[in-house]
Chains A and B, each alone.
Chain A
Amino acid sequence: MANPRGTTVINGTFHSPKTQHSKWQSTDGVKNGIPKEAQQNRNPRFSDKPIFESYPEPPLYVFVLTYMGYGIGTLFGYLRDFMRSWGIEKCNAAVEREEQKDFVPLYQDFENFYKRNLYMRIRDSWNQTVCSVPGPHIDIMEKVSDDYNWTFRHTGKVIKDVINMGSYNYLGLAVKYDESMKTVKDTLEKYGVGVASTRHEMGTLDKHKELEELMAKFLNVEAVMTFGMGFATNAMNIPILVGKGCLILSDELNHTSIILGARLSGATIRPFKHNNVQNLEKLLRESIISGQPRTGRAWKKILILVEGIYSMEGSIVNLPQIVALKKKYKAYLYIDEAHSIGATGPNGQGVRDFFGLAPEDVDVYMGTFTKSFAASGGYIAGKKELVDYVRVHSHSATYATSMSPVIAEQIIRSLKIVMGEDENQGEKHQTIGAHTAFGRHLLKKKIGVVVVGFPATALAEGRARFCLSSAHTREMLDKVLEVVDKLGDLLNVKYFPYKKSGHPALHNEKSFDKEASFDEMSIEPEA
């Protein structure tokens, strides 16, 4: 049997894939949707020295079948479009007004092709309606479609106690209201919900100051500035740091908000291969040597944009090497810790803490409060001059409403818990351990996961994502593993079965326990 591309060496032993013949019928077939093979979870494997991350690729036939599936789906799409335009098939989509039929069409035909024909079939995998706290268990409102996913209606029934592997609740701080949230309730009653003004005008409350000081203490930096939305924090603050004549080196898998911020800044953008330090160094050298394109003038600044943890890949940034590079070539480093703040590092201070680097090593820290702190909003942290500059020039501070005081109080409360200042909560342990057919079956078994496909990931790289939370108990995780195991067999999507070790621990993209040593972590049988 031919070896798959990218044979991997884990633990010094050589693993070969199961030689399984995958039949068409084992996946959902074309009728129900595009077979999105759920790939194995990306398991970052840690050792104390160079980070060794293994991304075994599935065998070649999987790629071929996936592309074939898309191809057939596209053909069917053309056929149905044809039938619809000739009136043979009923068109359920919304249409343009009669009075505006002679306007230039609002959408290009092809733009909507993907949406109409491929996305519609599997639309029910997303946008589940939740009606409870997004904690370890979640209640989902049942949704059915009478017309093949064009419209949905709620039956009124509630699927209770689904194990929630889809929400970003890493520290388990999204809980049903209890006495510990009294401060949040008091803030709500005293301040109300809204602010109705910007930070520069009348929107800076004493709560914001309190939050910023506490956050600066937590992160061990000189100053912090907070904003009302995490996405907007990137999109509105990267343009003020760099402009025309500057160079941005951005990881190719960066989040949309970072890409939008980089584009709005007007600087030259050059992507480097994901987490590939050699490629980054090569780009740095070439850029400094050749200068700006066409004029050859020297670059004003070089900014490297990376994320702490990449949510779609589950990989951690190679921070020590990138910091060494940036010092050598005098570039600036901007790190987006949306997923890693609170969840990585011995004190929850993010990837910098995780690698044990000094706070001055990174120039700009950015993060969001949505994931680990169960609130919303974002922040920028760093030296006082940087934060002062951001306070004065940020688009968000000048034109956008400031954060709601209730949200600010929730973040203060979460911070205190994470910092261990709150006696009532004790230490929050970060427990670790370990496609659409996949998602649907899992929901039937009352486990909620996130299924991602094109265009958020590459065409043949659809995946199911499991988000761990410290609120998940051992029983829940065992149940999930069991179900995933059975489903994997049923759907024939197990490509790399690894041996179960004595401590089956679920790997995930975030959450690394300060106590468990890395040797204990082992790789479990994936989906």
Chain B
Amino acid sequence: MATVAEQWVLVEMVQALYEAPAYHLILEGILILWIIRLVFSKTYKLQERSDLTAKEKEELIEEWQPEPLVPPVSKNHPALNYNIVSGPPTHNIVVNGKECVNFASFNFLGLLANPRVKAAALASLKKYGVGTCGPRGFYGTFDVHLDLEERLAKFMRTEEAIIYSYGFSTIASAIPAYSKRGDIVFVDSAACFAIQKGLQASRSDIKLFKHNDVADLERLLKEQEIEDEKNPRKARVTRRFIVVEGLYMNTGTICPLPELVKLKYKYKARIFLEESLSFGVLGEHGRGVTEHYGISIDDIDLISANMENALASVGGFCCGRSFVVDHQRLSGQGYCFSASLPPLLASAAIEALNIMEENPGIFAVLKKKCQHIHESLQGISGLKVVGEPLSPALHLQLEESTGSREKDVKLLQEIIVQCMNKGIALTQARYLDKDEKCLPPPSIRVVVTVEQTEEELERAASTIREAAQAVLL
């Protein structure tokens, strides 16, 4: 029975072969020959140099000398002679053995030394210990993390928030989670280094526009629109993003958010807002630049901030609609592949949020002090103030550069040393010269906090003035 069936099948096959059209058979024949060729052909490896003899290869290996792993660093480099702070970096700080008033740490709301924050952290320490011993997905999610995320979302009036264990990684992981190779990102040229690293990791097309120049951004967007019309299919899958900071760390200026939102809807690009400096500073309740301008928070696709400035803790967070933020729970590298925030730092942040919500008056106080120092620092011969009156982090740059960055840095450092000797702690704004896309000029960073009294502000201004006169004239 079986053999008859087999024969019958064979007969059918042969019949099919006869009846098939010629081109069909030829095509199949070519395909089979191609497969045979591929199977037997040698794989072409770019690396193999088969034209060299074994002896020559050994010689090449012997002769090859690598560079030293790291080039030598000069002993006088400022980063090797860093300021050492003994004790807490609070309002009264002991730097290199001298007692000073702190004008250098980003402790805007003075919460670093707040006893309530410390008590909350202590309670958390007693309950949870220090580390979480795991990433968020694997037993590293503690109830305090969920609490903090809920509180942040409620405070910023968004649907959801996600926290990271390190401020730098927050924006550096958020951008590559959404923007991939082939997408286009329009970013301000004064964007901070963390944003630059996020952009580099995303491998997208980066288009820089002049700092705070909406017209320049519109020009770039228009150019992109023209490109899109040439290739509509590609345009339909290319995402566009505009990445800006609320308050720029490098220049102390505020971004023109209302115009940017208009551009967003006109050219269909999503906005990512980095609010590290403006969170807890701008706005009536400290909600940042959106509250400052009165813009609906839903118009911004993603807000990212770090908790290391106003909130005086460690870590960072992103907030926005669930549609956007939830994606980072699986795609944010700094979230998935890293241990979660130690619970005591999360509890400290929650308590700091509580304090911010209970005393909305401190933001007005901070604003007044910023304006005060901005005025007092005007007119110092040789130095110009860079930054808006509202910004708590200002820069003092040389009015006229000497021509060499090194000399500029030295001059500014002398001014700082004199100020420190008189009890005002200042620092230069530090950058990695070779790695920045648009390196800002050297400057002295002046940070205003709510804890500084009027008298101290006056004293700082006059000290800087005297030092500048002594050094620069």
Contacts and interface: CB of A to CB of B under 8 A. Distances in A.
Nearest to A283: B47
A289 B107 CA distance: 55
Interface string B421-459: 000010111111001000000000100000000000000
B27 interface: no
B118 A375 contact: no
B374 interface: no
Contacts of B178: 106
A257 B125 contact: no
Interface stretch (A199-207, A474-482, A488-496): A199-207
Contacts of A392: 73, 77, 79-80
Contacts of B134: 134, 166-168
B66 A177 contact: no
Contact of B130 (A184, A195, A199, A385): A184
Interface residues of A, number: 121
A192 B344 contact: no
Chain B's interface size range is 35 or more
Given A106-B178, A290-B49, A197 B133 contact: no
Contact of A200 (B82, B142, B309): B82
Given A194-B112, A194-B312, A126 B137 contact: yes
Interface in B228-243: 235-240
B89 A196 contact: yes
Q: Which of B102, B137, B200, B324 has the most CB of A within 10 A?
A: B137
Contact of A388 (B73, B194, B322, B435): B73
A386 B131 contact: no
B240 A104 contact: yes
Nearest to A263: B201
Interface string A106-131: 11100000010001000000111111
B370 interface: no
Contact of A232 (B52, B69, B169, B268): B169
A8 interface: no
A204 B235 CA distance: 48
Interface stretch (B18-26, B34-42, B335-343, B359-367): B335-343
B409 interface: no
Given A301-B67, A395-B193, A189 B118 contact: yes
A209 B82 CA distance: 11
A175 interface: yes
A400 B166 contact: yes
Contact of A126 (B128, B138, B172): B138
Contacts of A263: 201
B313 interface: yes
A376 B82 contact: no
Interface stretch (B57-65, B287-295, B379-387): B57-65
Contact of A132 (B78, B121, B127): B127
Interface string A391-408: 111011111110011110
A486 interface: no
B129 A175 contact: yes
A420 to B, nearest CB: 21
Contact of A398 (B314, B427, B430): B430
B168 A385 contact: no
Contacts of B138: 126, 166-167, 450
B253 interface: no
A198 B129 CA distance: 26
A201 B443 CA distance: 12
A231 to B, nearest CB: 4
Nearest to A133: B129
A232 B118 contact: no
Contacts of A15: none
Nearest to A134: B133
Interface stretch (A61-69, A325-333, A350-358, A426-434): A325-333
Given A388-B73, A401-B314, A201 B104 contact: yes
B167 interface: yes
A193 B168 contact: no
Interface stretch (A32-40, A91-99, A512-520): A91-99
B298 A97 contact: yes
A464 to B, nearest CB: 11
Contacts of B314: 193-195, 228, 401, 404
Given A105-B239, A194-B345, A400-B166, 9 more contacts: A106-B323, A134-B132, A168-B134, A201-B430, A263-B201, A298-B64, A389-B73, A392-B73, A399-B432
Interface of A: 94-97, 99-100, 102-108, 115, 119, 126-135, 138, 141, 164, 166-169, 174-177, 181, 184-185, 188-206, 209, 228-232, 235-236, 241, 255-257, 260, 263-264, 285-290, 293, 298-302, 329-332, 363-364, 368-371, 373-376, 385-386, 388-393, 395-401, 404-407, 410, 448, 450
Interface of B: 46-49, 52, 57, 60-61, 64-67, 69-73, 77-80, 82-90, 93, 95, 102, 104-107, 111-114, 117-118, 121-122, 125-134, 136-143, 146, 159, 165-169, 172, 178, 192-194, 197, 200-201, 235-240, 265, 268-270, 298, 306, 308-309, 311-314, 321-324, 326-327, 330, 333-334, 336-339, 341-342, 344-345, 348, 425, 427-432, 435, 445
10 shortest interchain CB distances as A-B pairs: A229-B166, A231-B338, A400-B168, A389-B70, A94-B323, A200-B430, A177-B126, A167-B133, A202-B104, A370-B339
